[in-house]
């Protein structure tokens, strides 16, 4: 019940944001809100493996970047009318580019996961980081697609019946995708698979003794998480109308981890609150001082040291304290 109320409140805030931004004459608020939605999805996908599954992947921005590049590359081939590898035509249709982005980022996660999930602990962190950096440098060196400068997408992908030149329309498309994604995530974390995943985080050895070959389940979660990040990246490319290797830099992976921890590991709403807190802090602190990351660092330290379970944990305890 509490969760339902929180969901409705969050949905109302995001749905009314364009109106509020208009009334306040603060267009930047709509942009901020869209970025929060997109990063919330990326953070939620990471939370599936990090928070629910206990896999500390330090390369999650790679899938975000791959998703963004799928949109960028499909767009540039659609513009030039040259098929990719002489085989596939480009596309500027969102209903094609989003599934394509999920497919390719999922495939990247399948390969990287298969090669790294046999390890654990620090080794796993370093291997996922190394693979993500390899993908980063691959795109930096791809001069055909802009190299370091990335790809400029002159127009957001089209959706039949919608005017995607209107920023507010794009905003609502992002919101709809985010709502669908979180509805899907709700199912996953409460499913049979979700239960197995939570078990694996707590005690992998016990799960094996129950007859669960944990590797397959971890890989499945890893691929689902990669697809989610790819979806978010594809939306980001549409929103920014731009994609570059910066989107998959290791610092982006770090930011996603921070969002998940900030919001509350392994909680459903944590990634949304974490992404919101992170981006709002960045928005206001960056205005105020160029050393905003120092401020962020201090706040993060506070959260980790003094709140158990991030922002959600803090709210829970404040409520508990009052009763």
Partner 1 sequence: MTEILRIEGLQKRFGGLVATDNVTLDVHTGEIHALIGPNGAGKSTLINQLCGELRQDDGMIHLAGRDISHMAAPDRVDLGLGRTFQVTSLLEEFTVRENVGLAVQARDGGNFRVFDNVAGRKSVWEETAHLLSGSLLDDRRDARVADLSHGEKKQLELIMALATQPRLLLLDEPMAGLGHVETGQMIETLRGLHGEVSMLLVEHDMEAVFALADRISVLVYGQIIMTGTADEVRGDPRVREAYLGTEDA
Which phi and psi angles does 13 have, rounded to 5°? -60, -50
Q: Which stretch binds partner 1 (CB under 8 A): 36-44, 89-97, 193-201, 298-306?
A: 193-201
- Span interacting with partner 1, options 95-103, 166-174, 182-190, 303-311, rule CB under 8 A: 182-190
Q: Is 196 in the site for partner 1 (CB under 8 A)?
A: yes
- Minimum distance between the CB of residue 172 and partner 1, rounded to whole angstroms? 26
Q: Token pair of 65, please?
A: 């970047």
Told to check if 61 binds partner 1 by CB under 8 A, we report no
DSSP H or E run through 321: helix 310-322
**183 counts as binding partner 1 under rule CB under 8 A:** no
Listed ranges 16-24, 121-129, 216-224, 314-322: which one lies at the site for partner 1 (CB under 8 A): 216-224
Examine residue 191 and tell whether it contacts partner 1 (CB under 8 A). Answer: yes
Query: Is 204 or 246 the residue whose CB approaches partner 1 more closely?
Result: 204
Q: What are the residues whose beta carbons fall under 8 Å from the beta carbon of 269, sequence distance 6 or more?
A: 3, 6, 7, 10, 263, 312
What count of Cα atoms within 13 Å lies in the side-chain half-sphere of residue 207?
19
CB 229 within 8 A of CB 42: yes
Only one of the segments 62-70, 93-101, 106-114, 206-214 lies at the binding site for partner 1 (rule: CB under 8 A); that segment is 206-214
Nearer to partner 1, 188 or 300 (CB): 188
The nearest distance, CB 41 to partner 1, in angstroms, is 17
The count of C-alpha atoms lying within 13 angstroms of the C-alpha of 206, restricted to the half-sphere facing its C-beta, is 8
* DSSP reduced 3-state for 290: coil
Tokens of residue 266, six digits? 């392994």
| Cβ-Cβ contacts under 8 Å for 266 (sequence gap 6 or more) | 47, 51, 52, 198, 201
* Site for partner 1 contains 203 (CB under 8 A): yes
207 binds partner 1 (CB under 8 A): yes
Among 8, 210, 294, 304, binds partner 1 (CB under 8 A): 210
In the block, which residue shows the tokens 């939620």?
A: 44
Among 188, 285, 300, 314, binds partner 1 (CB under 8 A): 188
* Of 13-21, 118-126, 192-200, 248-256: span binding partner 1 (CB under 8 A): 192-200
Kindly tell me which residue out of 22, 149, 208, 287 binds partner 1, with binding defined by CB under 8 A.
208
Rounded Cα distance between 175 and 61, Å, is 21
Closest separation in Å from C-beta 224 to partner 1: 8
Select the residue interacting with partner 1 from 193, 250, 283, 292 (CB under 8 A).
193
CA 79/CA 52 separation, integer angstroms: 41
Tell me the three state secondary structure of residue 152.
Answer: strand
The answer to whether 198 contacts partner 1 (rule: CB under 8 A) is yes
143 touches partner 1 by CB under 8 A: no
Q: Where are the beta strands (DSSP E) in 47-86?
A: none
Backbone angles phi, psi at 93, to 5 degrees: -100, 120
Structure tokens at 185: 């995530």
Determine which residue in the list 9, 195, 280, 317 makes contact with partner 1, applying CB under 8 A. Answer: 195
Q: How far is the CB of 211 from partner 1 (least distance, A)?
A: 3
What are 89's two structure tokens? 């035509």
In the complex, the residues that contact partner 1 under the rule CB under 8 A are 187-188, 190-196, 198-199, 202-203, 205-213, 217, 220, 224
């Amino acid at each position: 019940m509490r969760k339902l109320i929180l969901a409705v409140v969050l949905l109302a805030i995001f749905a009314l944001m364009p109106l509020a931004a208009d009334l306040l004459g603060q267009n930047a608020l709509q942009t901020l809100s869209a970025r929060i939605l997109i990063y919330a999805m990326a953070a939620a996908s990471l939370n599936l493996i990090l928070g629910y599954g206990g896999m500390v992947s330090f390369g999650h921005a790679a899938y975000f970047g791959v998703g963004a590049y799928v949109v960028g590359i499909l767009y540039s081939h659609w513009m030039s009318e040259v098929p990719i590898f002489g085989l596939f035509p480009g596309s500027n249709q969102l209903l094609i580019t989003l599934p394509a982005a999920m497919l390719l980022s999922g495939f990247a996660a399948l390969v990287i996961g298969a090669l790294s999930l046999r390890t654990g602990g620090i080794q796993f962190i370093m291997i996922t980081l190394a693979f993500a950096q390899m993908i980063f440098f691959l795109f930096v060196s791809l001069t055909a697609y802009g190299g370091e400068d990335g790809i400029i997408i002159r127009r957001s992908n089209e959706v039949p019946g919608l005017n995607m030149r209107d920023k507010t329309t794009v905003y609502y498309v992002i919101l709809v995708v985010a709502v669908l994604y979180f509805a899907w995530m709700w199912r996953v974390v409460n499913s049979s698979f979700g239960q197995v995943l939570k078990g694996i985080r707590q005690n992998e050895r016990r799960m094996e003794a129950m007859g669960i070959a944990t590797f397959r389940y971890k890989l499945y979660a890893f691929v689902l998480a990669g697809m989610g990040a790819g979806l978010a990246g594809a939306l980001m490319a549409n929103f920014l109308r731009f994609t570059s290797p910066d989107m998959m830099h290791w610092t982006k992976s770090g930011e996603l981890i921070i969002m998940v921890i900030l919001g509350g590991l392994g909680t459903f709403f944590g990634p949304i609150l974490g992404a919101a807190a992170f981006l709002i802090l960045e928005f206001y602190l960056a205005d105020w001082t160029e050393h905003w990351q120092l401020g962020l660092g201090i706040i993060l330290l506070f959260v980790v040291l003094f709140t158990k379970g991030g922002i959600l944990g803090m709210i829970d305890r404040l409520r508990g304290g009052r009763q």
